[in-house]
Amino acid sequence: MKPAHIKTAPVFRMFDVDKAKAFYVDWLGFSWDWEHRHADDFPLFAGLSLGDMHLHLTEHHGDCAPGGLAMFFIHGIAEYHAELMAKGYAFNRPGLEDMPWGQQVCAIDPFHNKVHFIEPKGSEGDA
């Protein structure tokens, strides 16, 4: 029996909650859905979402190393790219790239994690 897929949530390392919120919430448009700390003086673990895309951020140094990559396959990448550019985020201005597999926008967070939004060629209804 194959397990049923519910959702996938890549985990990225972060070092500064305010910078993470500026990048993921204010600029990319994710919702900061929840936070967890085992105690007040423990590192933060947070859950974010953008539509049906999920991502977790962690301050726990044992969870993962910075420099990860998550790829999100989407529809409407040109419109999403235009929205990002209109916000004027000072630290990242990715282009809308034409690649052999479709179009992509590659953003790098303040902790050197990469978030790629990809609209595959011929993806009408398939992303």
Boundaries of domain holding 115 = 11-120
Is 5 part of any domain?
Answer: no
Q: How many domains does the chain have?
A: 1
Per the structure block, which two tokens stand in for 20? 């993470």
In 49-111, which residue ranges form alpha helices assigned H by DSSP? Answer: 77-87
| CA–CA distances in Å: residue 102 to residues 53, 68, 73 | 19, 22, 10
* Residue 125 pLDDT exceeds 70: no
pLDDT tens profile 13-61:
999 999 999 999 999 999 999 999 999 999 999 999 999 999 999 999 8
What pLDDT is stored for residue 126 in this prediction? 53
The CATH number covering residue 71 comes to: 3.10.180.10
